Structure 1
């Protein structure tokens, strides 16, 4: 068997392990999904009319704010799921299973790739669930089939980028609790973006950060795709650039950290 065939087989084995682990221990995934679901319901049913009135010049129409907030909630879900990966990787590192893998004749990168691909698959399933809830409470996307494909590709790309960063966080954390704390930016940055209110409505000193941080361009691009509105070349370039850059940094960081000597 060639080296490439062996590596592919090892990747599939580790992917299967990741998916089986998620199926047998669903509590972590459910806990991470609970936050975006609760935020969606809270902002729609408690703040929806007020926020819609502020964004629509005094006309209170909850459906307007539902359309605005759902893309942000979707990408917040991506961050939440990636945080779960950081916790899972940290758990593997501290429970000794990685030390056993190091002694086996397997491709080393497959251990990390299994986590990443498994998380991307779980993320896409979670996004389908969140989208279903959003449609049930009044979200009405206006995307063409091509725009739906582009939206799915964007969410998968964001998931890939954040998951590689999460893997690095898990590798450098002393335990699962440490990984959860170090990974908080993955869940906090969407709150400091255009997910809930337009960037133009923010204080001038904060607006620049909110506009150019990783989540805002991705949210604006996704919002334009799902609602059939304008996207803007700047948002697309920033979103794709952030994703590719974070993926590269996360991969190199994770690979370098994983190839170090095992923890004592």
Structure 2
């Protein structure tokens, strides 16, 4: 009698398995989506309606809300970074990742499945936030190709931040220290053009904001969705060519974070207190 040794799962099958595990966890915790949307929706109401008149100045307040919405969409995608980092960190410290490593799975499968699942759930949150933006008066004035490009860019941004979050969760093994990085991440996001044009900022802060990758993605979405507003003639290159700049920033981020993640997952051991 010939005994056949089971073949190890392919990289695609292994990634799909870990992808399904993360989605199952989200299915049992539907409140996570509401928590993800709570802060950005509150900021939409605060900046769009409470502060909207002051920020818009002499311009139409409704036009400012259309200007604001692409920035809030980027904010929704960016705020998922800390949640992804916490999930990766918990898996590593609990020993769950070690159990996966004991299986005949490619090293790439576990973090890739997590990144894809976080991107999918992030896409659901972005769709819900788009509906809130529409209710607030946001309108898209662009061709179908431009709209699809904007959606693809937004999902690529979320996918890239998923890998960045996994990288943070793997490198910063102390859970409390990881939690303290959330305000720093939020601060970097705020130093951008999410809420106001960069030309209204003082010199050094304006330079930082214009070279902030978040600003490039926001500017690209505004351009692709046909949102009102124009970029100053003396703006930095990432704001004058935001789509190209966004593609470069995101590619560099993936090139940097993915090898770090794979190295960390390959040598990961649970942290014991």
CA deviation vs aligned residue, 1:184-227 (integer Å, no higher than 9, x gap): 44433221101111010000121111001110011001001112
* 1:12 match: 16
* 2:104 match: 105
1:260 to 228, 242, 267: 267
Q: State the Cα distance separating 1:109 from its structure 2 match.
A: 1.4
1:1-264 aligned within 5 A: 6-53=10-57, 58-59=58-59, 61-227=60-226, 234-264=241-271
Q: What TM-score, normalized by structure 1, do the two folds share?
A: 0.91
Which runs of 5 or more residues in structure 1 are unaligned? Answer: none
What CA distance in whole angstroms lies between the structure 2 residues aligned with 1:131 and 1:46?
20
**Cα contact 2:36–2:125 (8 A) shared by 1:** no
What CA distance in whole angstroms lies between the structure 1 residues aligned with 2:161 and 2:185?
8
Q: State the Cα distance separating 1:175 from its structure 2 match.
A: 4.4
Q: Number of matched residues?
A: 258
- Local SS of the residue matching 1:259: helix
**Cα contact 1:87–1:177 (8 A) shared by 2:** no
Report the more deviating stretch, 154-163 or 220-229: 220-229
Q: What CA RMSD, in Å, does the superposition of the two structures yield over aligned residues?
A: 2.0
- Local SS of the residue matching 1:262: coil
What CA distance in whole angstroms lies between the structure 2 residues aligned with 1:261 and 1:141?
45
What CA distance in whole angstroms lies between the structure 2 residues aligned with 1:141 and 1:189?
27
Q: State the Cα distance separating 1:176 from its structure 2 match.
A: 4.0
In 2 relative to 1, CA 261–63 (structure 1 residues): closer, same or farther, beyond 3 Å? closer
* 2:236 match: none
Greater share of residues in helix? 1
- Bigger Cα Rg: 2
Q: State the Cα distance separating 1:177 from its structure 2 match.
A: 3.8
**Cα contact 2:66–2:227 (8 A) shared by 1:** no
**Cα contact 1:36–1:76 (8 A) shared by 2:** yes
**Cα contact 2:67–2:227 (8 A) shared by 1:** no
Between 1 and 2, higher relative CO (CA 8 Å, sep ≥ 6) is seen in 2
CA deviation vs aligned residue, 1:92-148 (integer Å, no higher than 9, x gap): 112221121121122221110111000111111111100000101111111211111
Q: What TM-score, normalized by structure 2, do the two folds share?
A: 0.88
